[in-house]
Structure 1
Amino acid sequence: MTAFEKLDRFLRNLYDTAFYFAMMAVKENFRDYIRRAGPQGTPTDEIVLLANGPSLRDELPELIARGEHLRKDFLAVNYFAEDERFTTVRPKYYILSDPTFFRRCCDWERVERLYAVLNERVAWPMTLYVQFYNPEHFDYRAALPNPLIRIVRFHSQTYCGFPSLGYWCFRHGLGNGNYGSVIQNGEYVALQLGYKVLHLYGVDHTFFDGFCVDDENRACVRRTYFYDAAPQLKPLMLTSVNPPRPYTVHSYLAEKCELFRGHEILARYAERIGARIVNHTRGSLIDTYERA
């Protein structure tokens, strides 16, 4: 690397780092909510994280048959509570990180059903993690009055800048590793809670199955979740803005590139703090973690 390239990288990192801290000061704050709240009950050394990929249809019955839910802590995400096995698994932790869960758009009726299901079914102490970023000031406690559900916020401002300083931010609960998937936020939370081995299931990440552009020039993908009866071809909508807008092919591919880079950041962070992330998902596109 030439002297000019080194100077260019230094100046870019300096700008990105300063911009990150400015955004945290304006949009969020510098409190580590995850560690302040601590783990739910007495944690085990290992935790199972359930994503919603189609492989979970086969993996979840195997996990239950082996009694993994009786020996390890579990973390679930998004609409897992709608599955009848939710009350069998009884996850200690639950993550909601998509803006659709606080923004009244894009299938809000289903979101309301999810909150009703969580209120009704949770009969054990459970921690729900939600984004600090909530510009609409959605009241999670009003939607989830169940006293057994503890609500804890986490930061979601993307960190870019000097890598070594980034790890300091991660250890102190600030920002994230460019995560583009709810399960990545789950991994980060689990690492912050002190779990030493993270077991991933349902992280197929087959984001390009059925990816196409329809006759109306809309980018579409064949969405497959373990709780869906059949895959559905749906237009892709960017929900991080309000109102949501359609993805372009370029913006969708760019976002997924960042998502996989986020897995690389998480893998390095886990190694740095002496933890392991093990991917048990058959056919997963993630090439970063140790394979079971």
Structure 2
Amino acid sequence: MLENVFNAVAAFFSNLAQSLLSLAKVLLRSQWGVRLPAPQQTRCSVLGNGPSLNDSLANHLDFLLETELIVVNGFALTDYFTRLRPANYIIADPNAFTFHDATTGREDLHQILQALITQVDWSMRLFIPNFAKGSYFIQQIEKGNSRIELVYFNPTIIRGFNWFCYWLYTANLGMPQAQTVIVTALFLMINRKFDEVFLFGADTSWHEQIRINDDNQLLIKQVHFYDKPKDVAFMPVYKDAHRTQTFTMASQFLSLHKVFRGYEVLREYADYRKVRVLNASSKSYIDALERVQLVNQSVGQ
């Protein structure tokens, strides 16, 4: 009994401290008055870049085309970009907004930027964090393609009492910790108030591709749906730009914990906003979201 009281008091003061810290971050970092566009349809599909997306594109393309599409990060590097002509694109990688025309080592960012400027001949929204304003990436988009509408969001991490978090989430002043762009995408679509949000290509199986070499370096093989697995090698994951030390196994699994905890927070928030978030990925380790299988253009449990 005494231990329960102690835990409750500790939880209260922990939430109080986190709420006050989150409020301070909002006041310092967030842009006020953010408005997200209304949904164009009642259903949307968020496409992650995991290998299982190949199954969904092969077997459920008609379903996808009947929903409002949201793609993320490197999707513009694929042939499906111009085939699907997605109405929404989300880039959350901070590196995209710190690079410039002379940056080396991130050829993918140059290719994504070039694809957005030269290939998008339809109306498309590009969702980017508020700190991206004025970056080289955004300047090139603004000069190079008037069909792309820029939509800014606040990536400020909010923690604390649920009622406090939901108040700031709903006001678009911050979001749960988004360890992956999919968490960001789902959060934004929940706030746009779709009736149903379908998730595809969210394998979340990075732990299957972790190795430790003889020098105790952490190696990961990151495979996307557009990669040929045999062409992707295990690569060290470095902590700093100087590439002197890799992340530890403990830090890597802490990062994975944050990923899965983010989905749990999203599920609770989606219930609060009365939005169904449905994981239709053919392979996925996400246990926080309701799983569904698409059968003959319909959803079956």
TM-score of the two chains, using structure 1 as the length reference: 0.89
The equivalent of 2:249 in structure 1 is 249
Give the secondary-structure state (helix, strand or coil) at the position aligned to 1:232: coil
* Matches for 1:107-186 after TM superposition, within 5 Å: 107-134=105-132, 138-144=135-141, 145-186=144-185
Q: Which residue of 1 aligns with 2:25?
A: 23
CA contact (8 A) 2:30 2:173 kept: no
Question: 2:178 touches 2:262 (CA, 8 Å); kept in 1?
Answer: yes
Structure 2 unmatched runs, 5+: 293-301
Question: 8 Å contact 2:279–2:289 — kept in the other structure?
Answer: yes
Describe how 1:86-97 pairs up with structure 2 within 5 A. Answer: 86-97=81-92
- Is 1:235 matched with 2:230? no
State the one-letter code of the partner of 2:85: R
Structure 1 CA distance for aligned equivalents of residues 260 and 33 of structure 2: 27
Q: 1:280 to 1:85 in 2, by over 3 A?
A: same
Listed one character per residue, the Cα deviations across residues 88-119 of structure 1 (whole Å, up to 9, x for unaligned) are 11111111111121133783222011100111
Amino acid at match of 1:103: T
* Aligned with 2:60 (options 52, 55, 63): 63
CA deviation profile, 1:64-107 (whole Å, cap 9, x unmatched): 2x2531x2110000111111121111111111111121133783
Displacement of 1:236 in angstroms is 1.9
Cα pair distance change 1:148/1:243, threshold 3 Å: farther
Q: What SS does structure 2 have at the residue aligned with 1:174?
A: coil
Instruction: Measure how far apart 1:263 and its partner are.
Output: 0.2
Q: Secondary structure at the match of 2:163?
A: helix
Q: Percent identity?
A: 24
Say whether residues 1:46 and 2:43 are aligned partners.
yes
Match of 1:76 in 2: 71
Q: How does 1:5-16 map to 2 (within 5 A)?
A: 5-16=7-18
- Note the alpha carbon deviations across 1:11-59, whole angstroms, 9 max, x for none: 111111111111222233333243xxx13xx611000110000011121
Note if contact 2:55-2:282 (Cα within 8 Å) is conserved in structure 1.
no
Other structure's SS at 1:86 match: helix
| TM-score normalised over the length of structure 2 | 0.87
Matched letter for residue 152 of structure 1: V
CA contact (8 A) 2:74 2:108 kept: no
- What is the aligned-residue RMSD (CA, Å)? 2.1
Aligned length: 282
The alpha carbon displacement at 1:137 in A equals 5.1
Separation (CA, whole Å) in 1 of partners of 2:49 and 2:207:
16
Q: C-alpha distance in 2, partners of 1:88/1:67?
A: 14
> For 1:2, what is the secondary structure of its paired residue?
helix
Measured in 2, the distance between the counterparts of 1:20 and 1:31 equals 18
Q: Provide the C-alpha distance between the structure 2 equivalents of 1:274 and 1:175, rounded to a whole number of angstroms.
A: 19
Higher mean C-alpha displacement, 246-255 vs 257-266: 246-255
Cα distance change on mapping 1:191 and 1:106 into 2, 3 Å: farther
Answer whether contact 1:100 1:106 (CA < 8 A) is retained.
Answer: no
Decide whether aligned partners of structure 1 residues 147 and 242 sit closer, same or farther in structure 2, where only a CA change above 3 A counts: farther
Aligned to 2:206: 207
Given that 2:89 and 2:125 are in contact with CA atoms closer than 8 Å, whether structure 1 keeps it comes out as: yes
